Amino acid sequence: MIAYFDCFSGISGDMTLGALIDLGVPAEWLQKKLTELPLEGFDLDVRKVHRNGIAANRVEVVCREDAVERSYADIVALLEKASMSDSARASSLKIFRRLAEAEAGIHGCDVAEVHFHEVGATDAIVDIVGAVLGLEHLGVTETMASRLSVGTGFVDCRHGRLPVPAPATLALLGEVPVVGTGIEAELVTPTGAAIITGMAREFGPQPAMRIHRVGYGAGRRELEPGPNLLRIVLGSGKADEAVLPDGMAQDRVWVLETAIDDMSAELIGFCVERLFEDGALDVALIPMYMKKHRPATLIQVICREDRKEALLHRLLTDTTTLGIRHHQTDRRVLAREEKTVSTSFGKIAVKQIRLPGGRFRLAPEYEVCRKIALEKKLPLREIYDKLIQEIGDA
């Protein structure tokens, strides 16, 4: 599924959430998923508004706590504790990494020294993680965007009055096509810039695609000539060209491989974590023997084309390899979706996987089982076995 962001009036975090909810992401589901973050004191206020006669969703994150200043390390720790899929966690971490690098460049400090103010607040974390979860819920596998419309003037923030686009926004928009509108307003916020540059594979005209749904998210202000909206077009195209019987799909992915015989397991493990943060779909470590019978580890990475270069760079910089093999291949994928079921441990999230022949298989999520095992002080395998038995009988 393709999501095309039409940013004719810029983009912000709340506009993104509004458009995704308009596309069909249930607001109640999103609120529930977001409350599973280790954050407290916020609600999602979703209401219908009209901009130049177009109905849209206006989303506001209502915080019941004072603004919190968080370091980049604080946010990484928060996201690592959150209950979400590995891919959603990697995307969220990647977006905040981009923000940290942008802020570090502006303030002339290391990423580890960056403290977020506006983008570290609860509402920005909810906007970013909510956008990632919403796209995942809609089954989006490819994100693209138009050129970004930016405003002019000034905006007041923690550091005082700054020109529009804000320095952090400009740092994030490097190499991205933008167009000035002359509108005296902050059309592209740092959060919006981080989301779209972290998720979009390319920027330009709308691609050839079958349009399934269109969602509109409204900005806070009424603008002239307007409308102050973000439009997301959801459809299918090349990424979904081969839809097979029984709900299976076929797409093309890249496989990256390199053999390592002079790194410790700890260093390889750290590299695997970073590969997932960079957007790898899967990473496998395969024991092998190289020339002269040296034991080694084959690192095999599966990714989409838009993450290939970033992952190649990671392997070249974070391992001792001198070269990487890479090739494209087809793969078959079973249709899956998240479902909530009742168990003796309460309501939990499971994956519902559609098998050939129309049958279904339910599988508990690792993070859910891990959390229960820690809370109940029981072996992880015991939790898995019990949940599989219960959901199999459901």
Label each residue of the chain as H, E or C: CEEEEECECEECHHHHHHHHHHHCCCHHHHHHHHHCCCCCCEEEEEEEEEECCEEEEEEEEEECCCCCCEEHHHHHHHHHHCCCCHHHHHHHHHHHHHHHHHHHHHHCCCHHHCEECHHHCHHHHHHHHHHHHHHHHCCCCEEEECCEEECCCEEEECCEEEECCCHHHHHHCCCCCEEECCCCCCCECHHHHHHHHHHCCEECCCCCCEEEEEEEEECCCCCCCCCCEEEEEEEECHHHCEECHHHCEEEEEEEEEEEECCCCHHHHHHHHHHHHHCCCCEEEEEEEECHHHCEEEEEEEEECHHHHHHHHHHHHHHCCCCCCEEEEEEEEECCEEEEEEEECCEEEEEEEEECCCCCEEEEECHHHHHHHHHHHCCCHHHHHHHHHHHHHHC
User: What whole-number distance in Å separates Cα of residue 176 and Cα of residue 50?
Assistant: 30
**Best CA proximity match to 103, nearest among 160, 22, 172:** 172
Q: What is the pLDDT of residue 239?
A: 45
Provide the angle, in degrees to the nearest 10, between the axes of the packed helices 122-137 and 13-23: 30
Q: How confident is the model at residue 102 (pLDDT cuts 50, 70, 90)?
A: confident
Residue 134 has pLDDT above 80, yes or no: yes
256 vs 65 pLDDT, higher one:
256
**Best CA proximity match to 320, nearest among 278, 264, 256:** 264
Provide the angle, in degrees to the nearest 10, between the axes of the packed helices 72-81 and 86-107: 180
Q: What is the pLDDT of residue 281?
A: 93
Q: What is the pLDDT of residue 268?
A: 96
User: In this structure, what token pair is assigned to residue 307?
Assistant: 């993450």
Model confidence pLDDT, tens digit, residues 167-204: 889 999 988 999 998 898 999 999 999 999 999 988 98
User: In this structure, what token pair is assigned to residue 256?
Assistant: 């990256």
Which residues are 203's β-sheet partners?
Answer: 145
Provide the angle, in degrees to the nearest 10, between the axes of the packed helices 122-137 and 72-81: 40
Averaged pLDDT, 51-56: 94
Give percent of the chain above pLDDT 90: 49
Averaged pLDDT, 325-354: 85
67 vs 86 pLDDT, higher one:
86
Query: Are the C-beta atoms of residues 252 and 303 closer than 8 Å to each other?
Result: no
**Angle CA(303)–CA(309)–CA(313) in degrees, nearest 5?**
110
Domains of the chain, each with CATH number or no CATH: 2-240 (no CATH), 249-333 (3.30.70.1380), 336-393 (no CATH)
Q: How confident is the model at residue 338 (pLDDT cuts 50, 70, 90)?
A: confident
Q: How confident is the model at residue 91 (pLDDT cuts 50, 70, 90)?
A: very high
User: What whole-number distance in Å separates Cα of residue 184 and Cα of residue 151?
Assistant: 6
Q: What is the mean pLDDT of the chain?
A: 87
Bond into 227 cis (ω within 30): yes
**Angle CA(107)–CA(111)–CA(113) in degrees, nearest 5?**
75
Residue 341 has pLDDT above 90, yes or no: no
User: What whole-number distance in Å separates Cα of residue 219 and Cα of residue 224?
Assistant: 13
**Best CA proximity match to 268, nearest among 238, 296, 230:** 296
**Best CA proximity match to 13, nearest among 198, 233, 163, 156:** 198
304 vs 111 pLDDT, higher one:
304
User: What whole-number distance in Å separates Cα of residue 186 and Cα of residue 190?
Assistant: 10
- Cβ contacts of residue 18 below 8 Å, gap of 6+? 46, 56, 57, 58, 59, 215, 216, 217, 218, 230
Q: Lowest-pLDDT range, 32-41, 96-105, 311-320?
A: 32-41
Q: How confident is the model at residue 130 (pLDDT cuts 50, 70, 90)?
A: very high
User: What whole-number distance in Å separates Cα of residue 60 and Cα of residue 372?
Assistant: 32
Averaged pLDDT, 239-265: 76
Q: What is the pLDDT of residue 240?
A: 47
Query: Best-predicted range by mean pLDDT among 80-89, 223-232, 241-250, 349-358?
Result: 223-232
Query: Are the C-beta atoms of residues 321 and 260 closer than 8 Å to each other?
Result: yes
